[in-house]
Amino acid sequence: MTIESDIARPVPRTWGWPVPGGGRAGHVEAGVRFAGTTSQVCGLFPFAVSSGADVHGVPIGRHMHTAEPIGLDPAHWLRSGLVSNTGIWVQGQPGIGKSSITKRLLTGLVGFGMRAVIPGDVKGEYTPLIHALDGAVWKLGRGLHALNPLDAGPLLPALTAASGAERERLAETIRARRLSLLEALITIVRRSEPTVTERRLLGAALDTATTSMATQPVIPDVLAVLSTGGGMLPAIAATATATEYRRAARELTNTLGLLCEGAIRGIFDRPSTIVLDADTPALSLDISALDGDEDEVVAAAMLCSWAWTAGLVDAATTGPHPRNVVQVQDELWRALRVAPGLVEKSDRITRLGRHRGVVSIQITHSLDDLEALPTEADRAKARGLASRTSVLLLGGMAEKELDGLRRITSLTEGEAALITSWAAPPTWHSGRIHPGRGKYLIKSGQRIGLPVALTLTATEADLYDTDTAFRPNEVDR
């Protein structure tokens, strides 16, 4: 019998072929994988090529072509001159693991000494992780904690301790943020921006309420000042009598009244019940109790949360012991699409105290979210916000998404094909892992992207799970 005839036969139960030199064996051990530098293993495998990635930072996975470990730390990349800012844009279809890689980054950056801040967690999905990091979670809603939009919050101790020019700067920062937030809330309620006269009336009333109050003013205090019409208010409204003034300020006072008596009553019209621990490594403002409400309520909650945490960022990144902050904004566009002009106002609220010590992560499903904004001016500003982000984490998405994406970053044909290949399973057979789960393309500038596969630990798999609502019941259906 020849060797050729043996090869044509089916593989036997035991390994190898029963011929001289066939290497027949009853059991073969699985291979063991070892990792090493290209200098060490080039003699064994001379075709190993590095991806050119900087491995310093939070380990987020291995390069899908070279198995090289990839690290991501925007602060380190900024110091190294790889990026011009520390913004991260995360985009991909639902279910591919956008929140998983974001939470891995949060965990790692907290380990590096940063403070994690979640300003307005709409779904409450970051709450388990914040608890695991020994952080603080404050749940906002009716019958829960309240957040005063006019509360100086974490900036108040800094204002109290400051003097001279620094105190004046902090006071103006707090005033500007309060006024911008009030204007944003009015825009949400009436679906249009306040007039120039109303903005001046609002500023004067806010100044009066702030000066006359021994504690932090609340919206009803500003409403009371506007209703009384004292001081400079009649002159700003160009009225000579009390009746004329009330008529001129009617729309503004009624709008503020809705903030106190309408759908968000009891949440943002009373003193804050949130107490900040300066040493907490992580903090989340959980607004998931409002997730079922109308968009106006959710938008107001998100904007108020952003403003309060902007003060936290200012306080954390200044002072005698500055501390870098990593913050996550998820479902950003749910707030900004409610009324025209909110993109600019939200940017003004969060930009006033922005420092280099902040890593900002923004998450979205699709760039179509930008197109849902009310006006072309808003859409243009939102596209600019996305394009100015230095690091993009791109998950699986459909071909139609790539046209908009190419306006933000360059994509080669290979990169585009890789992203679309992660979008959906190739067949209808069930029981297979989604091809895009845990796979991301890291893009920055004009560089070739880094395709990364993230593998979660058992602890992370429990903490990051967002599919618990669809887990099978104990009784098999």
Rounded alpha-carbon distances, angstroms, from residue 363 to 93, 206, 240, 397: 11, 34, 51, 14
Tens of pLDDT, residue by residue over 389-447, are 889 999 998 888 888 888 888 888 999 999 998 987 666 666 667 778 889 999 988 88
Model confidence band, residue 216 (pLDDT cutoffs 50, 70, 90): confident
Q: Contact 323/113 with Cβ under 8 angstroms?
A: yes
The answer to whether residue 55 scores a pLDDT higher than 70 is no
Model confidence band, residue 82 (pLDDT cutoffs 50, 70, 90): confident
Q: Contact 398/96 with Cβ under 8 angstroms?
A: no
Tens of pLDDT, residue by residue over 271-322, are 888 888 878 899 999 999 988 888 888 888 888 888 888 878 877 776 666 7
pLDDT value at position 2?
45
How large is the angle between the packed helices 219-228 and 250-261, nearest 10 degrees? 150
Structural domains of the chain, with CATH: 32-133+324-468 (3.40.50.300)
Tokens, residue 461: 């798999």
pTM of the model: 0.79
- How many residues does this entry show for the chain? 477
Q: Which is more confident, 60 or 278?
A: 60
Model confidence band, residue 207 (pLDDT cutoffs 50, 70, 90): very high
Distance CA(374)–CA(2), nearest Å, equals: 78
Q: Contact 209/182 with Cβ under 8 angstroms?
A: no
In order, the DSSP letters of 84-104 are SS-EEEEE--TTSSHHHHHHH
Please give the radius of gyration of the chain, using alpha carbons only, rounded to the nearest integer: 28
Q: Name the amino acid, one letter, at 210.
A: T
Q: Contact 282/113 with Cβ under 8 angstroms?
A: no
Q: Contact 138/284 with Cβ under 8 angstroms?
A: yes
Tokens, residue 122: 């709409």
Q: Contact 267/141 with Cβ under 8 angstroms?
A: yes
Q: Contact 229/236 with Cβ under 8 angstroms?
A: no
Tokens, residue 403: 């046209």
List the single range of 92-101, 316-325, 331-340, 466-475 with lowest mean pLDDT.
466-475
Q: Which helix (H) or strand (E) holds 332?
A: helix 332-336
Rounded alpha-carbon distances, angstroms, from residue 469 to 120, 257, 287, 465, 466: 21, 39, 19, 10, 8
Tens of pLDDT, residue by residue over 89-125, are 999 888 788 889 999 999 999 999 999 999 889 889 9
